[in-house]
Amino acid sequence: MQKRLLGKSGLEVSALGLGCMGFSSTFGQNVDKADAIAMLRAAVEHGVTFFDTAEVYGPFGNEELVGEALAPFRKDVVIATKFGFNIENRKMIGVISTPDRIKKAVEGSLKRLKTDVIDLLYQHRVDPTVPIEDVAGTVKELIQQGKVKHFGMSEAGANTVCKAHAVQPVTALQSEYSLWWRKPEQDILPTLEELGIGFVPFSPLGRGFLTGTLNEKTTLTDNDFRKNHPRFQPEALKANQAMVDLLNTFARQKNATPAQIALAWLLAQKPWIVPIPGTTRLNRLEENINSVNIQLTVEDLRQINEAAAKIQIEGSRYPEALEKMTGL
């Protein structure tokens, strides 16, 4: 597995990380604990060193799973987790990033992850009621105390990132980015490049859509979090199929899969971009990892970008309530 540096921070990780949210029934599936642990350890054996979790995944159970699975490899992996959601009775209720809440969240994460330090700590969503300078200052204290190594942000706007970075250098920004969600290219990527901050795209495969395994006839279960997302309504899935068709065209040329082309495209955008596709299946993990070896030429990228620019993506990426929690 190739390695990449997240900006100028010096934090080196595998070129592809593993998003672990899906182990917590996010997509309507129950993953057996033993199978999940085996999968996470298989990822390490395949060269993945970057694992992404959060206290709200589960909630709490995802961190416990990741902590147990990676304990034997702790010195060889980078674990990222997140604070920022108010959790009551094991349910997410809005955002909260007060200093006291951040410190409490970190203590809980340290215990669940079975570690004495968090490699990369993200603010999961910006809390508009707490100055970002206070958030960055609190994380700075935690870094000085040796409980955290690096500070990250998620779904924050460029201006907010700049304010936080002035207090405590931001190692990485995590936000959605893929061929069907390219808004970060407008302000985020130029800002990160200027400040030397790494970028960690989540949902780099469009929550599964860019794999080519979903269409307008797909029935999502009631506990699949995508069920109420505008982009996963039948009419949107049908309209957006053009993007999968585009990926299939290049996949045939490269003897690859649509998912591999989507990931190779992302990796080709900047050397400090590290996507974190999530999967709970070994064959999908191996498929994703092999995308690192696919070389897209300048001409390939030009053709992909020109074709993609002609496709009108239908449907917003989140329901309105969730979209309001983002800073993009």
Q: Is the pTM of this model over 0.85?
A: yes
Per-residue pLDDT of the chain (328 residues; tens, 9 = 90+): 999 999 999 999 999 999 999 998 666 677 899 999 999 999 999 999 999 999 999 999 999 999 999 999 999 999 999 999 999 888 888 999 999 999 999 999 999 999 999 999 999 999 999 999 999 999 999 999 999 999 999 999 999 999 999 999 999 999 999 999 999 999 999 999 999 999 999 999 999 999 998 888 888 888 888 888 899 999 999 999 999 999 999 999 999 999 999 999 999 999 999 999 999 999 999 999 999 999 999 999 999 999 999 999 998 887 777 767 776 6
57 noted as active-site residue = yes
Count Cα neighbours of 300 within 13 Å in the Cβ-side half-sphere: 18
Say what the alpha-carbon torsion angle 58, 60, 64, 66 is, to the nearest 10 degrees. 60
Q: Of 57, 122, 177, 318, which is the active-site residue?
A: 57
- What the chain holds in terms of domains, given with CATH numbers, is 3-323 (3.20.20.100)
Nearest one of 251, 325, 316, 321 to 290, comparing CA atoms: 251
Sign of CA dihedral 112, 114, 115, 121: negative
